Amino acid sequence: MSTFLYALAQGAVRARKLVLIIWIAVLALLGTSAAVFGQGANASISIPGTESQEALDTLGRTFEEVSGTSATIIVVGADAARVDADPYRGAILDVVDDLEAADRVTAVTTPFSEPPVGLSDDGNAALLTIQIDATSDSVPDSTLEVIESASTTLTDALPAGAQVSFGGEAFSVAVPGVSPTEAVGVVIAFVVLILTLGSLIAAGMPILIALIGVGVSIAALFTVTAFIELTSTTPMLALMLGLAVGIDYTLFIVSRHQEQLRAGLEVDESIARATATSGSAVVFAGVTVIIALVGLSVAGIPFLTALGVAAAAAVAIAVLIAVTLTPAILGMAGRRILPRKQREAAPQTTPRAGFAERFFGRWVDGATKRPLITLLAGLALLIVAAIPALDLRLALPNATSLPEDDPARVTYELTGEHYGEGYNGPLILTGSIITSEDPVGLMVDVADAVRDVPGVADVPLATPNPGADTGIVQVVPDGGPHAESTAELVQTLRDHHDEWEKEFGVSLAVTGFTAVGIDVSNMLLHALIPFGAFVVGLSLILLTIVFRSIWVPIKATLGFLFSVGAAFGAVVAVFEWGWLQDLLHVPSTGPVLSFMPIILMGVLFGLAMDYELFLVSRIREEHVHGADAQTAIRRGFIGSGRVVTAAALIMFAVFAAFVPEGDPSIKVIALGLAVGVFVDAFIVRMTLVPAALALLGERAWRMPRWLDRVLPSFDVEGEGIARELAHRGWPVDMPDARIASKDLIVAGHRIPDIRLGSGEALVLDPASRATAPLTQALTGRRAPESGTLTVTGLILPERAATLRSRAADADPMTLRAALHDRPSLIVLDLRSALAAPEIAGIPAMRSALEGRAVEAERGSAPPVTIVIVGTSQLAEQILPSGTRITSVTEKQEVVR
């Protein structure tokens, strides 16, 4: 990975203007297509397969009069006047004709229609219900305008003091937009970047690059809406995540580049190395976030899968733009990326200890001086912070999440005041009555049975459809849509299914938008367990691969769970308990957005792994380079603390900026992420992690050998490219060596140092047990256990993948075919020739090798290095004239 990123950065720097033009062109193209083809992101939330959703879909086909969505107009008489008398009655009837004539309106129900529905018990309020043949997100604007106009007409026609308000499901969908408040997060990020990087150019670069990435992401999402429906939360979540990770990922690369420039590295080389090292960590960090977001699909909920994939795409674009556009713009900036005073300063081989180094030195010293006390105090704090999470309740948003002066919320509250909270969330019982001989009587009997169920406040409607094949019973619960009693009533009604089917011969399903919301919330709550297991398991596996340790992943995963608990606790305290409600502009308290927990877990997992990676990998690097456990913790913390702090503050600022004026659905997610990032970065990663590592000591970096061999290796800190660069021109005694090794151990065998130049062939003893693993190592198919090995200029095992594409294995029968692919290295196994030299085809092999040598001299093929498994005598017979033979069979030593 690091080698690939090194080459990618070099190419981006050379073609810097082209890279910038390509990204701007992509942004312009997607922006244009979004404007032309985009359909908007305001799809309704549903879960196919649930009882309520299937029943609702069936009603759409069999009972159009009650399917789709609805709007309401409530009229409250002045001075307790009755609204079933003039002038109220006449004014209401006058607007009904206009409402019925509106586009997609299928029925208008008033206290004066047949059947009469909607008069309050005291006669002081009338409720007009407008049934619309459309989903809540697709109601025509003309229909909404007619409803608003009818409300205005009623207000003008009624006596002073009368109240008229419109609302209902059709007006409860608010498409979120970006407000100026969100820009505050960007401003704070800019200030943090100036303090961290010390240069206006360096500070502005991560924000500019992140904004380009966000623009591409959002434009792509709105283009996709031409083919796929997305909820209104989707683009806002993608915007929030793309902006936060985009700034952070570029920051990591720019910070490393500045550090290398101060150490005296040339600009172009520094850009390539920074992208290879920090860029590798960025790619790994981005992949963890992407996997976690795509992992939302384990819940099996279509809208949540779409949301996770869209957010993952935004993160992927942020990663891609960080490792391509960042090197290009860094190349344009040159040394101006440094503060003015540092541009002409002499290289710093040992950085001066400034305020940041002293600050983070004291921080880590305080955390590790008494590690057990630090751990216990930190865990106690996190447990207390997570206590409110025990009251976590989930629901889909409704009108109560809108501002207090929004007409839909005013209507909601007036309805609750005059009719009871249950009228804001009625339930529907529906079923097929096609076999009934008395459909009307049957529905009356069912309604009587439903009225006897505890928790039912009223049954205002029980009727068959015009075709008499489907019946509905409208049920008004005692509590509102978010009340626990309403959820219990839904279950109680379903518990009566078998009883009523036996008594009335009708299979009744509970539906309606309130029931759909309850089913969605329950399904999402149950999905938390498999998704949590997925995230925790993924965390353990990924961190074990990265850090080659058992204790580090366990500690990191436990820390993540505590961070999630604290984030949930903060959300419940604010949105359910009402803490800081006015300060954060929370319209009302109540259950939390249904899909908040699963999204927060997925996103926070990726971000927590970012901080764990950037902090602990630096500590591990110090330990690998010889520092003892305690010293490695201090050096690694000081070396990474400044960047991790800046990254966390930027994330916190961006997320927190979406809280005060954000859309209700985004507000709760943003608060959870802001608290989660703050807790995870500063309490878990930068306080508890050093304490835990100090307590574990050397045990923190131990892992069973068998597990180390099984797990793949992922170079997240760019150690591979650093090692490759350190071995440029190695060995010094033969810089152009085709094969060179030093202190090499393969499969327990110590191999004598090899120096194989051009025009030489390496001969290995076929009887030696070291030969097979050595040939595997020479062709990039086995990693050496220790030592240094380069083959055709490639350092191993870092460049093993490249070497495998250039190496070939052959025997006497397949040599010519193998050479046809023009490999740079060929391992020729001559054991069959040793057994039967008379039929080995020695002349043919020599001819093939000589032909390849001629091609190399002419430049039509690369030189080929030959490794022969056989004897020197046989090698002399088949190798081209003048080829020198080197053998390593004499000094092989078994070391285990």
Name the one residue in this structure whose structure tokens are 């089913």.
Answer: 519
Do 807 and 887 sit in the same domain of this protein? yes
Which amino acid would we find at residue 574? Answer: V
Do 86 and 208 sit in the same domain of this protein? no
Distance (Å, whole) CA 782 – CA 771: 12
Residue 240's closest CA among 303, 189, 305, 301?
Answer: 189
Burial 419-456 (b: 16+ CB within 10 A, else e): bbbbbbbbbbbbbbbeebeebeebbebbbebbeeeebb
Residue by residue, DSSP assigns 370-401 as SHHHHHHHHHHHHHHHHGGGGG--EE---GGG
Whole-number Cα distances in Å, 566 to 378, 379, 427, 597, 831: 12, 11, 35, 12, 66
Q: In a 10 Å sphere around its CB, with 0-12 CB exposed, 13-18 middle and 19+ buried, how is residue 529 labelled?
A: exposed
- Split into its structural domains, the chain has a count of 4
Tell me if the bond preceding 863 is cis, omega within 30° of 0: no
Helices and strands of the chain, counted as H and E runs: 31, 21
User: Which residues, other chains included, contact 36 with Cβ-Cβ below 8 Å and sequence gap of 6+?
Assistant: none
Do 161 and 183 sit in the same domain of this protein? no
Do 91 and 18 sit in the same domain of this protein? no
pTM check: above 0.85 = no
Of 480, 511, 542, which residue is a domain's last?
Answer: 511
Which amino acid would we find at residue 406? Answer: D
Residue 829's closest CA among 782, 886, 771?
Answer: 771
Residue 793 is assigned to a structural domain of this protein: yes
What CATH number is given to the structural domain containing 160?
Answer: 3.30.70.1320
Residue 30's closest CA among 313, 222, 220, 314?
Answer: 220
* 3-class secondary structure, 807: strand
Asked if 821 contacts 785 with a C-beta cutoff of 8 angstroms, the reply is: no
What CATH number is given to the structural domain containing 853?
Answer: 3.40.50.300
Long-range interactions of 765-772: CB distance < 8 A, separation 24+:
765/887, 765/889, 765/892, 766/829, 766/830, 766/831, 766/834, 766/869, 766/870, 766/871, 768/889, 768/892, 769/894, 770/746, 770/892, 770/894, 771/869
Which amino acid would we find at residue 79? Answer: D
Residue 161 is assigned to a structural domain of this protein: yes
Do 368 and 478 sit in the same domain of this protein? no
Asked if 87 contacts 153 with a C-beta cutoff of 8 angstroms, the reply is: no
Distance (Å, whole) CA 573 – CA 387: 9
Do 456 and 536 sit in the same domain of this protein? no
* 3-class secondary structure, 21: helix
What CATH number is given to the structural domain containing 500?
Answer: 3.30.70
Give me the pLDDT at residue 492, please: 94
Of 135, 154, 171, which residue is a domain's last?
Answer: 171
Residue 474's closest CA among 423, 404, 531, 537?
Answer: 423
Do 335 and 279 sit in the same domain of this protein? yes
Name the one residue in this structure whose structure tokens are 């518990």.
Answer: 495
Distance (Å, whole) CA 839 – CA 424: 93
Please report which helix (H) or strand (E) contains residue 127, including its range.
strand 125-132
- Report strand pairing: 755-756 vs 739-746: antiparallel
Distance (Å, whole) CA 224 – CA 310: 10
Residue 716 is assigned to a structural domain of this protein: no
Structural domain of residue 768, as residue ranges? 727-894
Ranges of the chain whose pLDDT falls below 50: 350-351, 353, 890-896
Residue 7 is assigned to a structural domain of this protein: yes
Residue 413 is assigned to a structural domain of this protein: no
Distance (Å, whole) CA 475 – CA 307: 33
Residue 401 is assigned to a structural domain of this protein: no
Asked if 563 contacts 680 with a C-beta cutoff of 8 angstroms, the reply is: yes
| Count of C-beta atoms within a 10 Å radius of residue 145 | 12
Give me the pLDDT at residue 383, please: 95
Give me the pLDDT at residue 494, please: 92
Do 525 and 644 sit in the same domain of this protein? yes
Beta bridge partners of 361: none
Name the one residue in this structure whose structure tokens are 């800046």.
Answer: 646
Do 585 and 663 sit in the same domain of this protein? yes
Residue 479 is assigned to a structural domain of this protein: yes
Do 184 and 215 sit in the same domain of this protein? yes
Do 329 and 477 sit in the same domain of this protein? no
Distance (Å, whole) CA 12 – CA 17: 9
- What are 600's two structure tokens? 């927060």
Burial 755-789 (b: 16+ CB within 10 A, else e): ebeeebbbbbbbeeebbbbbbbbbbbebebbebbb
Do 57 and 156 sit in the same domain of this protein? yes
Residue 863 is assigned to a structural domain of this protein: yes
- What are 740's two structure tokens? 């060179």
Distance (Å, whole) CA 693 – CA 286: 25
